[in-house]
Amino acid sequence: MEVRNRVVVSPMDMYSARDGTPNELHLIHLGARALGGAGLLVTEMTCVSPEARISLGCTGMYRDEHEAAWRGITEAVHRWSPAKICLQLGHSGAKGSTKLMWEGNEEPLESGQWEVIAPSPIAFRDGMQVPREMTRRDMDTVREQFVRATRMGAAAGFDMIELHCAHGYLLSSFITPVSNRRRDNYGGSLENRMRFPLEVLSATRAAWPDNRPISVRVSATDWTHDGITGDEAVQIARALHAAGADIIHVSAGQTSARAKPVYGRMFQTPLSDRIRNEGHVPTIAVGNITEADQVNAIIAAGRADLCALARSHLADPNWTLHAAAQLGYRDQWWPVQYQSGKEQLERMLSRQKEMELQGTSTI
């Protein structure tokens, strides 16, 4: 798969679906960002079964109408822009059955809760549901749900899929010892903790067309004293790469309520750097990357292959168009319908630069 540039619209849950079906909001949201020039769009975490949803507003890929609705979105993106579109697939695990983000993030539903499952019966935080410990039969069911969603994603015209193995959701909660206390073949050593996520990845890879890539999003540190560290993340990335992941999307944290994250500009990029340069695995960097110079520096220094921006794309769907104009890159693709906007912006920015230069020369 070839992308037009290395800017990625990071996955962002819109909490706006009903019964898992994406609607006009998802079309407008992803459509605006496709016209906004990013090379790759990643959908929000799209859930593989009704129980896999975080909230009642999450999108799904488990009913025929989901596939049809998603096909409408991929066709619109492909018809009107050169952007590629990736379907992020996930299962919420112990973090499921909660309210919409703006009604109470990580707060359980007041009524109509469904049973949640996880590797071990540990609530994500106080007040959240204690999940039921998964049996081997549950693992078979969940694996097959991922396979079904993958096939539907291929039929719906997605260019790529991303398995969500980060942020304490089901697959992530197997990988990290913070939430996986199993004493069988699926807990304990890293090899054991990786067994079920790798099984899902292998099954997914077999169901996904050979010529389309798969990404896996990981939390490369738990930000706790007893969790995953950057060292282990390199091994995790290698194992996923060997099992068929083409690229690792390097996020961090949200796996433990006890975490002490260290925020800052581009704060997760060092983790991507290690996975790419020590592990020799292609990566997507993400996390507080906000400026064009940061994207260019990360790529030019070989710290990642692609850069994902989330909140910056909420503030500005046309982030890539604006960044290109600021850098004086005239060959940036703009929608043909928007050409006069491109010319005006470029003219304004070069006049601004001239005035700044004149200003400094007269001082």
Of 246 and 346, which has the nearer Cβ to ligand FMN? 246
Of 88 and 145, which has the nearer Cβ to ligand FMN? 88
- Alpha-carbon distance of 360 to 10, in angstroms, equals 39
Compute the least distance from the CB of residue 268 to ligand FMN, in Å.
8
Of 193 and 217, which has the nearer Cβ to ligand FMN? 217
Q: Which of 185, 158, 187 is nearest to 67 (CA)?
A: 158
- In 69-224, beta strands by DSSP E: 84-90, 117-118, 132-133, 160-165, 214-219
Of 143 and 217, which has the nearer Cβ to ligand FMN? 217
- In 172-282, beta strands by DSSP E: 214-219, 247-251
Residue with the two structure tokens 């099992």:
243
The H or E element containing residue 309 is strand 306-309
Compute the least distance from the CB of residue 173 to ligand FMN, in Å.
14
Q: Whose CB is nearest to ligand FMN? A: 310
Of 87 and 152, which has the nearer Cβ to ligand FMN? 87
Compute the least distance from the CB of residue 54 to ligand FMN, in Å.
8
- Alpha-carbon distance of 175 to 188, in angstroms, equals 10
Q: What is the largest CA-CA distance in the chain?
A: 76
Of 12 and 207, which has the nearer Cβ to ligand FMN? 12
Q: Does 169 qualify as catalytic in the annotation?
A: yes
Compute the least distance from the CB of residue 28 to ligand FMN, in Å.
15
Q: Please tell me the number of Cα atoms within 13 Å of 202 on its side-chain side.
A: 9
- Give me the torsion for CA of 357, 358, 361, 363, rounded to 10°: -110
Compute the least distance from the CB of residue 25 to ligand FMN, in Å.
13
Give 43's DSSP letter: P
Three-state SS at 190: helix
Active-site choice (15, 62, 169, 186): 169
- Alpha-carbon distance of 247 to 284, in angstroms, equals 7
Compute the least distance from the CB of residue 288 to ligand FMN, in Å.
4
Pairing verdict, β 40-42 and 46-47: unpaired
The answer to whether 164 and 200 have CB atoms below 8 angstroms apart is: no
- Alpha-carbon distance of 4 to 36, in angstroms, equals 12
Residues that bind ligand FMN (CB under 6 A): 10-13, 44-45, 88, 164, 166, 217, 251, 286-289, 309-312
State the catalytic residues.
Answer: 169
